[in-house]
Structure 1
Amino acid sequence: MLMLMLNMSFMLSLFIIFSSHPLSMGVTLLSQVLIVSLITGMMASNFWFSYILFLIMVGGMLVLFVYMTSIASNEKFNYSSNLMKFFIMIIGLSMITLMMSDWLFIEYNNSQLENITNLNFNMTLNKFINYPYNILLFSLITYLFITLIAVVKISKIKYGPLRQMN
């Protein structure tokens, strides 16, 4: 299940490169955030961090959605049928590859299942500041800081608001 979600995340990352309409990019980004939140929740066995991440990103996406619909409200949404066929083919091939791999069907005995259960219990006791999760925390802080700098650079304060009022 985790490999399937990682595969879907990779496909959405590829799809956002080829999308040209702002609303399709927003929907792709929202789908990407949902998948990343689910992956984070499954890896941590605790969904509170992924829930907060999802709520923050959805709030930001609502602001972007309102802004983009006010700027590009009359722009036509065009999609390439060849591009859609290409992505469906890539997704199909990756699903077949995942289903054919042998490591997905490894049988565990009871002692291995007990070890996995103990590992999951110990993972829930970890804080997000400790070693395995601090990389995720620092990555999120760096991403938010770079986004803040990019938004400040894009919106030049001396020119006024980005949208021209009639």
Structure 2
Amino acid sequence: MTIILTIFLINTMLFMMLNHPLSMGGMVIIQTIMASLMTLMIASTAMFPLILLIIMTSGMLVLFIYMSSVASNEKMKSSWKLFFSYMIISGLMYIIMPEMSNMHGNYFNIYIKNEEINLLKLFSYPSHYIIIMMVLYLMLTMIIVSFIATIKEGPLRTK
């Protein structure tokens, strides 16, 4: 868990230094995978991380298609400044993280057990009707938007 958290924090710091949209999209996909792995370790089921991964990956696919149509031939520039900052940040994180992992002790385990109980309460009897209504509303909205948007009027229109 601490290794995934370390990589997550390093990628978060490096995200601010990126300037190309495709590299930012790749970093968001890596962050999504790390968040899904952390959620998988905390939750007892794999349903929540899988939903998170599918939703974020599909959103990034839409952004990738849009960016490839807008800026198709731009080159990504590799920067030595980014490489050295990555090395410095990762070195500092490996020094700091073992000390941080000893600080929380058993409080983190208690927090994880409370989170599992809260997730189970979310999908229990009285509130599962609201969740089903939200899913149906989102599906209906997606179907209506796909019927409204035609190929000739969208941002990726054909000539």
TM value normalised by structure 1? 0.62
Q: For residue 55 of structure 1, what is the aligned residue in structure 2?
A: 54
| C-alpha distance in structure 2 between counterparts of 1:60 and 1:128, whole Å | 28
Aligned residue for 1:127, secondary structure, equals helix
CA shift for structure 1 position 47: 1.6
List alignment gaps of at least 5 residues for structure 1. Answer: 107-111, 131-140, 142-159
| C-alpha distance in structure 1 between counterparts of 2:70 and 2:96, whole Å | 42
CA shift for structure 1 position 164: 7.6
Q: Which whole-Å deviations, capped at 9, do the CAs of 1:34-81 have from their partners, x for residues lacking one?
A: 111111111112221111110111111111111111211110101211
Q: For residue 9 of structure 2, what is the aligned residue in structure 1?
A: 10
Which residue of 109, 120, 137 maps to 1:127?
120
1:44·1:124 contact (CA, 8 Å) conserved in 2?
no
Q: For residue 24 of structure 1, what is the aligned residue in structure 2?
A: 23
1:37·1:54 contact (CA, 8 Å) conserved in 2?
yes
Q: Which whole-Å deviations, capped at 9, do the CAs of 1:96-139 have from their partners, x for residues lacking one?
A: 332466829x8xxxxx9xxx7xx85x937951628xxxxxxxxx
1:12·1:28 contact (CA, 8 Å) conserved in 2?
yes
| C-alpha distance in structure 1 between counterparts of 2:101 and 2:48, whole Å | 33
1:30·1:61 contact (CA, 8 Å) conserved in 2?
yes
2:10·2:93 contact (CA, 8 Å) conserved in 1?
no
Cα root mean square deviation, aligned: 3.2
Structure with the larger RCO, 1 or 2 (CA within 8 Å, 6+ apart): 2
Matched, 1:80 2:79: yes
Residue 50 and residue 128 in structure 1: after superposition, are their counterparts in 2 closer, same or farther (change >3 A)? farther
Letter in 1 for 2:63: L
Residue 102 and residue 73 in structure 1: after superposition, are their counterparts in 2 closer, same or farther (change >3 A)? closer
Letter in 1 for 2:122: I
Q: How many matched pairs?
A: 127
Letter in 2 for 1:123: E
Identity of aligned residues (%): 32
CA shift for structure 1 position 93: 1.9
2:20·2:76 contact (CA, 8 Å) conserved in 1?
yes
1:71·1:163 contact (CA, 8 Å) conserved in 2?
no
